[in-house]
Structure 1
Amino acid sequence: MTSTVRRAGAFAAVGTLSLLAAVAPAVAVAAFAAVAIGAATITDGAAFELFARPGDRRDERLKGLVGFAVAAGLLGAFAAFGELPATVFVGTVVLYSYGNFVGEIARNRLGGEVFEAVGFVVGGLIAGVVGVQATAMSTDAAVLPLAEVTVLATSGALVGALLRSILLGRDDPPVLLSVGFLLWLLAELDLGTSTPDVLVALAVTAALGYASYALETASVEGMLAGVVLAFLAIVLGGYPWFAVMIAFFGIGGLSTKFRYDQKRDRGVAEDNDGARGSANVLGNAAVALVAVLGYATAAAGLLPVDPAIFTFAFAGSLATALADTLSSEVGGVFDTPRLITTLERVEPGTDGGVTWQGELAGIAGAAVVAALSGALFSGIAGRGALVIASAGVVGMTVDSLLGATIEGDRIGNQSVNFLATLSGGIAGTLLALAVGLAAFT
């Protein structure tokens, strides 16, 4: 057994202390506090060698173990003194710690980042389900339906794997806290998901992840980001939400390969042979993810607003994302771009440079999302589709304007993508309100 696997196993053993919440969450908090205090005093010896990461060895402090115990204890405090369900607290901690353990085993046995990610998701999913149900059976809490627990555990495992791949620390407290707060939100929603629906969602998103990685349209981080978004779209919104989202991922990913060699020679191609990373995926789809969560929250009555608002925000943001992607990928192969602010000729790849061919491709992309939304979402139809297409064009134009004015030294491309999709989502919402297709209350 390698040192990294032993270390991950030791962290998993510490994570098991969360099961003390079955006695009382305060007991688990005290246990993690004791671990944090004890770890802060250890600078050498067998325990140090077992838990130390490379950075810990350099600093001669078990900072990783201290951070893990503090984060777990903080979640426990929300369960002991707040309203966080003990089941969510335990499920989060064992999901993360055992997911990390299985991920390390997969990486050592099979090699490669993708196997580590898959191992984390599978191990975290199983541990999360067991942890939630074991805690429920040991307390007065009602045992949750298996489908609902699977949704919680899968969502946490996917988000944990994604954040873990982005952040440098293997046991980074922000990952643990982010997963815990997400599962807290999901636990408050009336998911109403059946076991067959969950199994279909798992199968579909797994196939999506494999296809995006095998076709080299996404890196491992990009694959995880796409799978997270797709899974939550299915379980929180439904298959129409997934269909619209997959249209963006599929068409956008394939457009990256359009005349890729020519774009690479021009210096305007996506890096990594066109495989989009997590920053790119999240920059384009973060607004859509928030819209899905907002829709589910409003539909559950936790937000006093019309859920349709979030439908138009979702579709408007993705119409923008696809419009901008096609505009860039198609327009990048033509020699006559003009700066959108002054219309002067600029070199291909210049931020804010547009071509008429790219603009037409972008409008077509917005129209595809609008047509799908009109066909799949109830209450959208003709006027709603026009609203979404218009929002996509607005967002695409904002992207070009931001590129011409502030992109570069001030903000990066992914930030511009986020702001553009945000503007498309806002435009879709405001236009829907203006024509009476949605209301605030």
Structure 2
Amino acid sequence: MTTTVRRAGAFALVGTLALAVPPIANRTSRALATVAAPGPFLLVAALALYVVDEGPVFELFARPGDRRDGRLYGLAGFALAAAALALLSVRFTLPPTVFVGTVLLLAWGNLGGHLVRTVRDEPFAATAGFVLAGFLAGSAGQYAAARLIGTTVEWPLVAFLAASGALLGALLRAVLFERDDPLVMVSIGLLLWLFADLPLSIEPAVVGAALALAFLFGYLAYALETASLPGMITGVFLCLQTIVLGDFGWFVLLVTFFGVGGLSTKFRYEEKERRGIAEENEGARGSGNVLANSLVGLFAVLGWSASPTLTGVPADLFLFAFAGSIAAAMSDTLSSEIGGVFDNPRLITTFERVEPGTDGAVTWQGEVAGLAGAVLIAAIALGAFGRVDALGAGIVVFGGVVGMTVDSLLGATVEGVFLENEGVNFFATLAAGIAAALAAVGAGFVAI
């Protein structure tokens, strides 16, 4: 057993202390629980910072930086993050099941990832080990916490929360460092708290299909090299959310963008390389690119699932915002990836001829491709959603064209000065979502 695996196992055992928190919070007064619930983890943090500075226990928990500093800062940070979530559980509305599931998910997920790495030292396999172990531990933690406090939990919600937390944890671990586990733990806990507060009614068949489809399309994206590992994890996470929080129609829109947009990066890729406009990593899109194009859609599907109960806004408003933002992402991607291989582009603000790849440059071929992308998304929306008729599909196309145009305008004016490409993509999809939502209100689809 390697040192890394032993250390991960020791952290997993510390994480299991989370099981002591729900009974403390359930059987004592609120004032006493405020002190006692975080107590086990605060004690661990104190020992790590002020007592254990050498010997076998120190060597068991020490990361390379800890040995240099002579303090178990990694263990202390992990314990303090768990203590903070424990405090949120007893003083606020963070469910005890979510608290226990979060801590166990990260602690045992790390162990699973390191165990797989000893057998196959490959990032995809290690990530799969983290996600699987985290999912199982997060699910078991939620069930155990419910039993300890005498409540019940429904397995579809348990599975959805555990899978969402495991995917978010895998994504953050892929882009951060091991010493950032406290940030990862708190991020998972806050996200699952948000999901747990939504008025969700999840069918068992839906969550099972969501998990299977999300992971299938994620694997295909990675195998076809249309997404990097972080990009693939981000895509799987977003697909899971769209199916469970929205429905399969939302998923089809999103996966169409991922599939067609990803393949468009391969279109005449060698020629794009010669022009200096090709996506890096052989066209495999990273997490930043995926999130920039999909973050507005994620907020929209969250708004849909919370409406009208929590937002007071008609749910259909978020449907049009989602479809418009995805249409914009598709339009912008196709206009850039296809239009970029044609000569004589013109700057959108002045119409003067510029070099291919210039930010804000457009070609008529790219504009036609972008329009076709928006029409494709609108056609799928027309077939997938009963609330979208021919006029509604036109609104989706309108949102896509607005987003594509805003992207070019921002590229010609502020990209490289105030915003990078990901920021431009985000604001373009945001403009598209707002434009589609307002158009839906103006056309009478949504009454506010």
TM-score scaled by length of structure 1? 0.97
1:197 has 2:206 as partner: yes
Q: 2:436 aligns with which of 424, 428, 434?
A: 428
Deviation at 1:52, TM superposition (A): 2.1
Number of the residue aligned with 2:18: 18
Residue 329 of structure 1 aligns with which residue? 337
Look up the match of 1:181: 190
The letter of the residue matching 2:122 is G
Comparing 401-410 with 41-50, greater Cα deviation is found at 41-50
Whether the 8 Å CA contact 1:98–1:127 is kept in 2: the answer is yes
- How many pairs are equivalent? 438
Residue pairs, 1:84-233, within 5 angstroms: 84-141=94-151, 143-169=152-178, 171-233=180-242
Aligned to 2:28: none
In structure 1, what is the Cα distance between the partners aligned to 2:320 and 2:268?
Answer: 33
The answer as to 2:278 corresponding to 1:277 is: no
Structure 2 SS opposite 1:144: coil
SS, match of residue 231 in structure 1: helix
Return the offset for 1:91: 0.6
Mapping of 1:291-310 within 5 angstroms? 291-298=300-307, 301-310=309-318
Q: Does 2:402 correspond to 1:394?
A: yes
Alpha-carbon shift at residue 6 of structure 1 (Å): 1.2
Query: Which stretch shifts more, 311-320 or 34-43?
Result: 34-43
Pair 1:61-2:102 in alignment: no
Q: Kindly provide the amino acid, as one letter, of the partner of residue 372 in structure 1.
A: I
- Cα contact 1:24–1:80 (8 A) shared by 2: no
**d(CA) in 1 for partners of 2:40 and 2:147?**
21
- Offset of 1:171 from its aligned partner? 4.7
Contact 1:320–1:424 (CA under 8 A) maintained in structure 2 = yes
CA contact (8 A) 1:19 1:28 kept: no
Q: How far apart, in 2, do the equivalents of 1:55 and 1:278 lie?
A: 28
For structure 1, which segment, 99-108 or 225-234, has the greater mean C-alpha deviation from structure 2 after superposition?
99-108
* Cross-structure match for 2:30: none
Cα distance in 1, alignment partners of residues 396 and 177 from structure 2: 38
Amino acid at match of 1:21: V
Matched residue type, 1:15: G
Q: CA deviation at 1:159?
A: 1.1
Q: Which runs of 5+ in 2 are unaligned?
A: 26-32
Establish whether residue 70 from structure 1 lines up as the match of residue 80 from structure 2.
Answer: yes
Q: Secondary structure at the match of 1:258?
A: coil
Q: 1:109 to 1:74 in 2, by over 3 A?
A: same
Counterpart of 2:92 in structure 1 is: 82
Quote how far apart the aligned CAs of 1:319 are. Answer: 0.6
Offset at residue 325 of structure 1 (A): 0.3
| Contact 1:164–1:170 (Cα < 8 Å) also in 2 | no
Calculate the aligned-residue CA RMSD, in Å.
1.3
Residue 353 in structure 1 maps to residue 361 in structure 2: yes
Cα distance per residue 1:81-116 (max 9 Å; x no partner)? 111111110011101111111011112211111111
1:52 aligns with 2:62: yes
The change in CA–CA distance for 1:170 and 1:209 in structure 2 (over 3 A counts) is: farther
What CA deviation, in whole Å up to 9, does each residue of 1:38-79 have, x standing for no partner?
A: 211243332222222233333333222222111111111011
Of 196-205 and 45-54, deviating more is 45-54
Corresponding residue for 2:349? 341
- Could you tell me how far apart the structure 2 residues matched to 1:55 and 1:352 are? 45
CA distance in 2 between partners of 1:134 and 1:251 (Å): 43
Instruction: Measure, in 1, the Cα distance between the counterparts of 2:160 and 2:209.
Output: 12
Deviations 1:189-214 (CA, angstroms, capped at 9, x unpaired): 23322222222111111111110011
1:236 to 238, 242, 245: 245
Q: Does 1:251 align with 2:257?
A: no
- Matched to 1:71, the amino acid is A
* Partner SS, residue 172 of structure 1: helix
Q: Is there any run of 5+ residues in structure 1 with no aligned partner, and where?
A: none
**Aligned partners of 2:110 and 2:299: how far apart in 1?**
27
Which residue identity lines up with residue 88 of structure 1 in the other structure?
V
Quote the Cα distance in structure 2 between the aligned partners of 1:165 and 1:234. 24
1:170 deviates by 5.0
Distance 2:70 2:351 in 1: 59
Kindly provide the amino acid, as one letter, of the partner of residue 235 in structure 2: G
| Structure 2 SS opposite 1:335 | coil
Equivalent residues of 1:94, 1:127 under 8 A apart: yes
Rounded to whole Å, the distance in 1 between the matches of 2:45 and 2:380 is 52
CA deviations over 1:145-188 (Å, ceiling 9, x no partner): 21121111111111111111111235522211111111112112
Matched residues in 1 for 2:348 and 2:65: separation?
Answer: 47
